[in-house]
Amino acid sequence: MNKLIDWIKNHQVAAFFFVTFTITWGLGFSYSAVLQKGQFLLFPLVVIATCGPALAGIIISAVSNTQPRQGPRKAFWIAFLLAWVVSALVFLANGIYIEHMSLSPAVVGLLTISVAPVAFIIASVYSRIPAVKIYLASLIQLRGEWSWSLLALVSFPALILLSILISSILGRQPMVAPQFPATGLALIGLVAVKFFYQPFFFNTTGEEIGWRGFALPRLQSRTSPLIASLAIAFFWVNWHLFLWQAEGNPMFSWSYWIGQYALHIPASVIIGWFYNRTKGSILVAGIAHAVANTANAFFPNLDWMIYILTAAVAMLVMILVDKMWKKLPPDHPAVFQTSLQAS
């Protein structure tokens, strides 16, 4: 056992990816069971599977911890209960107003139980394990300048709108008013519900806590932000395998996988760029990811070729501006520091 723990401590990135895929792919059958066969009692497994990257980060951090537990248990449990209530309300609001679900008492009870892993992840910000607490600290706090956080909030919607304009100019897709499900204040309300849903399920709590919060800073301690972001993009795409399969996507089509890589590589670099610009803020990375998926939900009929090219140009600009092919200084807040974890 000691040899295994020592190996994990010395190979945290490899251990992270192994645990992530063990959780998500190990429970991957639950996606098709729920989405295709209607076996909704397995939905709690879907939540755990989708939280794989975050849970892996917490597990590896806990195993690698070298300091005694600190602080009272009370803070964690208060945070857990509050996060559980808020997560359940956010999920139910999305179910009612976005998905138009029929919510019987039994369904409400099942969904409330199902969101417990999300509450656990959020509450782990107040973990008594120092390494976990340090790791998750930026989940509840902005770092750096507010301007980068605001830019993260509008970046992907701006890219979508720009791609629509370019597609129209090129004559590929006429610029027509999107068919939104509502107008005025009702539309604003729907966008707000969807946006607040995405960080909880699962762009921040499930994914960004792991991809950018755990893997990126450790990779950046060894290589450049560009190489680190490309490496994460590779795993990020493949991680979706069972979800995309359950959604009925053409998993044996080369063009489908090429399209997904073309979509996720710019996204990985852009989100990584925001993470670094905000001094390693998981919260801002999560906001960028959540707003991208929110915007995609309201603009589903994009000219994806033009959007990918637009995002690729934005990615190239960021790479050139920040010289992302160069390693960050060892003391950069977005670079993992072993001494900080052990302090």
Nearest to 238 by CA among 1, 13, 24, 6: 24
Position 179 pLDDT exceeds 50: yes
Share of the chain above pLDDT 70, in %: 97
Q: Residue 120 and residue 59: Cα distance in Å, rounded? A: 12
| Mean pLDDT score of the chain | 94
Q: What is the number of domains present in the chain? A: 2
The one-character DSSP state at 303 is -
pLDDT at 343 over 50: no
- Determine if the peptide bond prior to 202 is cis (ω within 30°): yes
**Burial annotation 174-196 (CB, 10 A radius, 16+ → b, else e):** eeeeeeeeeeeeeeeebbebbbb
Q: Mean pLDDT across the stretch 74-83?
A: 97
Task: Render pLDDT for 280-313 as a digit per residue (tens, 0 to 9).
Answer: 999 999 999 999 999 999 998 899 999 999 999 9
Residue ending a domain, choose from 139, 173, 189: 139
- For 161-171, what is each residue's pLDDT tens digit? 999 999 999 98
Residue 71 structural domain:
2-139
pLDDT of residue 177: 63
**pLDDT per residue as tens digits for the range 202-230:** 999 999 999 999 999 999 999 999 999 99
The tens digit of pLDDT for each residue in 31-48 reads 999 999 999 999 999 999
Residues 203 and 296 in one domain: yes
On whether both 115 and 24 belong to a single domain, the answer is: yes
Whether the pTM exceeds 0.85: the reply is yes
Model pLDDT, residue 293 = 96
Read off the pLDDT band of 175 (50, 70, 90).
confident
For tokens 């995002």, the residue is 311
Q: Is the CB of residue 189 less than 8 Å from the CB of residue 93?
A: no
* Domain shared by 164 and 297, yes or no: yes
Cα Rg of the chain, angstroms: 20
- Is the pLDDT at 149 greater than 90, yes or no? no
The arithmetic mean of pLDDT across residues 317-330, rounded, is 97
Lowest mean pLDDT among 173-177, 238-242, 314-318: 173-177
When pLDDT is averaged across residues 131-154 and rounded to a whole number, the result is 88
- The answer to whether residues 305 and 263 touch, using CB atoms and an 8 Å cutoff, is no
Final residue of a domain: which of 118, 139, 160? Answer: 139
Confidence bin at 144 (pLDDT 50/70/90): low
Question: Please, are residues 303 and 161 in contact by the beta-carbon 8 Å criterion?
Answer: no
- Say yes or no: 102 and 217 in one domain: no
Specify whether 226 is located in the same domain as 338. yes
Q: Please return the burial class of 17, using the count of CB atoms within 10 Å of its CB with bins 0-12, 13-18 and 19+.
A: buried
Cβ of 131: how many Cβ atoms within 10 Å?
21
The per-residue pLDDT for 139 is 95
Are 113 and 226 in the same domain? no
HEC per residue, 143-185: CCCHHHHHHHHHHHHHHHHHHHHHHHHCCCCCCCCCCCCCCHH
Structure confidence at residue 62 (pLDDT): 97
Tell whether 256 and 297 lie within a shared domain.
yes
Q: 77 pLDDT exceeds 70?
A: yes
Beta carbons of 277 and 269 less than 8 angstroms apart: no
- Same domain? 75 vs 180: no
Instruction: Name which of 40, 25, 204, 21 is nearest 114 in CA terms.
Output: 40
Same-domain status, 250 and 118:
no
The set of residues, in sequence order, having a beta carbon less than 8 Å from that of 286 and lying 6+ positions away, is 139, 199, 203, 204, 205, 208, 209
Average pLDDT in the 66-84 region? 95
d(CA 286, CA 275): 9
Q: Out of 177-186, 256-265, 290-299, pick the least confident.
A: 177-186
Q: Are residues 235 and 122 in the same domain?
A: no
Residues 134 and 204 in one domain: no
Lowest pLDDT segment from 121-135, 178-192, 221-235, 248-262: 178-192
The predicted structure's pLDDT at residue 30: 98
Among 117, 139, 161, the domain-final residue is 139
Same domain, 181 and 124: no
* pLDDT-derived band at 337, boundaries 50, 70, 90: confident
